[in-house]
Amino acid sequence: MSAAQHDSSANEPVDVTDGKLSRFEIVKEGLRRDGIEILHYEPAFPVPGTKVEKRIERFIAFCFVVAGLGALGFVAVFAFWPWEYEYAEFGGAGSMSKWYTPMLGLTLALGLGGLGIGILTWAKKLLPVEELVQERHDGGSNEEDRVITGAVVGNMVEETGIKRRPMLKRALLFGAAPLGLAAIAPLGTLIVPPGDDLVTTGFNPRNNDGQPVGLMLKDGTRVRPDMISVGGQITAFPAIPDGSTNKHADSPVLLIHLRDEDAKKARENAYEMYEGAQWNNYIAYSKICTHVGCPASLYEQQTNRLLCPCHQSQFLITDNAKPVFGPATRHLPQLPIDVDEDGFFYAVSDFLVPIGPAFWERG
Ligand code: FES
């Protein structure tokens, strides 16, 4: 379409229902009625199909393909990449899992970046250069205006050249469709029911062929009473495969060797369900703070308080680990423990109440 077509000399109303009018003439008339004047109009490529145009098309198609691959990569990483951190020395994925978040970011950046660069290049390099001025006006649209609007939208589609650029159309579809998938993929995690994961831990005997689960250190060493001096404490994990990894991140306990008088006090204060849960002067509490789940592990022997470093909740060890300061409102669950004939600690059962934050007691 030549510049001569776009002069603004004709101010007479044009019958837009005249079938002889081209779509651009209807568009132009619509613009005129809306008080819009075309000052400058110049197709990006007056002669379609030049080498330069083809090269730009290929670049845009490449961007869309990169976007599609990036989005597909995002979905694949989200679904299959090992994300649970496991100590490599215990045979876990180790360094693979630490790349989970960067890989999600990288693939999403490729997906969104490819689509964005492709669309921007299309708009800047392939669309006509236009310069319009418009007066503002109020009021609704009449029938003719709607016809004109339809023509304007159709013209915009025409000007993108998508109809005569099937390669770009297919590349855009390839790039955009997986991005939609990437956007909804995380919702998939909401449809997997948690089962009883929220009320069991690694100390549940079902993790050990129905037998009671022992207590071990992070390196797998089984825990014996003589490992903890009076007033001391250690962190213990369920002695099962992956027991000290994130797979059982809800399971760690703080095993404390109380002084005689403190152990007596704890035994006297024990709730009915915790009677016999201590073994001699040893007592084990969940390390997962009942406020928002930080590890509560600062044991103060003089006051028999266990401190959580995150928001300073304090739990009284000699009274069922009840919260006595800070935002936590719920006791730390106690793990019933005993010592087997070989002299190793084991959990008599799983925790008797769910571990972790206090949402359990709401509602
Ligand atoms: S998580 Fe322990 S006090 Fe907040």
**What mean pLDDT is reported for the chain?**
86
Residue 310 Cβ inside 6 Å of ligand 1? The answer reads yes
Mean pLDDT over residues 281-300, rounded? Answer: 93
Please count the other Cβ atoms lying within 10 Å of the Cβ belonging to residue 203: 33
How many structural domains compose the chain?
Answer: 2
Better-predicted residue by pLDDT, 211 or 7: 211
Q: Is residue 71, in this structure, part of any structural domain at all? A: yes
Residue 63 Cβ inside 6 Å of ligand 1? The answer reads no
Residue 358 Cβ inside 6 Å of ligand 1? The answer reads no
Residue 195: predicted pLDDT: 74
Length of the chain as a residue count: 363
Residue 328 Cβ inside 6 Å of ligand 1? The answer reads yes
Please report how many Cα atoms fall inside a 13 Å half-sphere around the Cα of residue 47, on the Cβ side. Answer: 3
Question: Quick one: 341 and 212 in the same domain?
Answer: yes
* Cα of 289 from ligand 1 centre, angstroms: 6
Lowest mean pLDDT segment, chosen from 61-75, 180-194, 306-320: 180-194
Question: Quick one: 340 and 241 in the same domain?
Answer: yes
Say whether pLDDT at 87 is over 70: no
Residue 72: predicted pLDDT: 94
- Determine the Cα–Cα distance for residues 92 and 90; give it in Å rounded to an integer: 6
Say whether pLDDT at 246 is over 90: no
Question: Quick one: 117 and 237 in the same domain?
Answer: no
Question: Quick one: 114 and 237 in the same domain?
Answer: no
Q: Is residue 39, in this structure, part of any structural domain at all? A: no
Which mutation among 287, 294, 355 tests ligand 1's pocket best, with the greatest number of atoms within 8 A of CB? 294
Among 143-147, 174-178, 294-298, the range of highest mean pLDDT: 294-298
Please count the other Cβ atoms lying within 10 Å of the Cβ belonging to residue 37: 15
Residue 38: predicted pLDDT: 84
* Cα of 314 from ligand 1 centre, angstroms: 9
Question: Quick one: 331 and 236 in the same domain?
Answer: yes
Q: What is the CATH number of the domain that holds 308?
A: 2.102.10.10
Confidence of residue 92 (pLDDT cuts 50, 70, 90): low
Residue 97: predicted pLDDT: 76
What lies within 8 Å, CB to CB, of 163 at 6+ separation is: 157, 169
Q: Is residue 121, in this structure, part of any structural domain at all? A: yes
Q: Is residue 35, in this structure, part of any structural domain at all? A: no
What lies within 8 Å, CB to CB, of 173 at 6+ separation is: none
Residue 311 Cβ inside 6 Å of ligand 1? The answer reads yes
pTM exceeds 0.85 for this model: no
Which mutation among 287, 313, 332 tests ligand 1's pocket best, with the greatest number of atoms within 8 A of CB? 313
Question: Quick one: 119 and 243 in the same domain?
Answer: no
Residue 298 Cβ inside 6 Å of ligand 1? The answer reads no
**Measured distance between the N- and C-terminal CA atoms of the chain, rounded to whole angstroms:** 69
Residue 292 Cβ inside 6 Å of ligand 1? The answer reads yes
Question: Quick one: 239 and 109 in the same domain?
Answer: no
Question: Quick one: 341 and 210 in the same domain?
Answer: yes
The model's pLDDT over 353-362, given as tens digits with 9 standing for 90+, comes to 889 886 555 4
- Determine the Cα–Cα distance for residues 220 and 216; give it in Å rounded to an integer: 5
Q: Is residue 190, in this structure, part of any structural domain at all? A: no
Say whether pLDDT at 201 is over 60: yes
| Cα 8 to chain centroid, rounded | 55
Full residue range of the structural domain in which residue 97 is found? 51-86+93-127
Cα 353 to Cα 272, 273, 286, 288, distances in angstroms: 13, 10, 11, 13
Mean pLDDT over residues 11-28, rounded? Answer: 82
Residue 38 Cβ inside 6 Å of ligand 1? The answer reads no
Backbone φ and ψ of 337, nearest 5°: -125, 160
Mean pLDDT over residues 52-68, rounded? Answer: 94
What lies within 8 Å, CB to CB, of 137 at 6+ separation is: 34, 35
The model's pLDDT over 116-128, given as tens digits with 9 standing for 90+, comes to 999 999 999 998 8
Q: Is residue 13, in this structure, part of any structural domain at all? A: no
Helix axes 166-184, 51-80, angle to 10 degrees: 20
Residue 336: predicted pLDDT: 96
Lowest mean pLDDT segment, chosen from 6-10, 69-73, 167-171: 6-10
Q: Is residue 101, in this structure, part of any structural domain at all? A: yes
Question: Quick one: 239 and 326 in the same domain?
Answer: yes
Question: Quick one: 340 and 218 in the same domain?
Answer: yes
Q: Is residue 143, in this structure, part of any structural domain at all? A: no
Say whether pLDDT at 287 is over 70: yes
Question: Quick one: 122 and 227 in the same domain?
Answer: no
- Determine the Cα–Cα distance for residues 331 and 184; give it in Å rounded to an integer: 39
Among residues 357, 238, 337, which one has the least CA distance to residue 296?
Answer: 357
Say whether pLDDT at 256 is over 80: yes
- Determine the Cα–Cα distance for residues 352 and 202; give it in Å rounded to an integer: 13
Residue 11: predicted pLDDT: 63
The two structure tokens encoding residue 161: 């050249």
Residue 357 Cβ inside 6 Å of ligand 1? The answer reads no
- Determine the Cα–Cα distance for residues 68 and 176; give it in Å rounded to an integer: 6
Task: Judge residue 65's burial from the number of C-beta atoms within 10 Å of its C-beta, 0-12 exposed, 13-18 middle, 19 or more buried.
Answer: middle
The two structure tokens encoding residue 130: 């236009």
Say whether pLDDT at 187 is over 80: no
Residue 4: predicted pLDDT: 42
- Among protein residues, the one whose CA lies closest to atom 3 of ligand 1: 311
Q: Is 214 helix (H, G, I), strand (E, B) or coil?
A: strand
Question: Quick one: 123 and 220 in the same domain?
Answer: no
Say whether pLDDT at 3 is over 50: no
Say whether pLDDT at 231 is over 80: yes
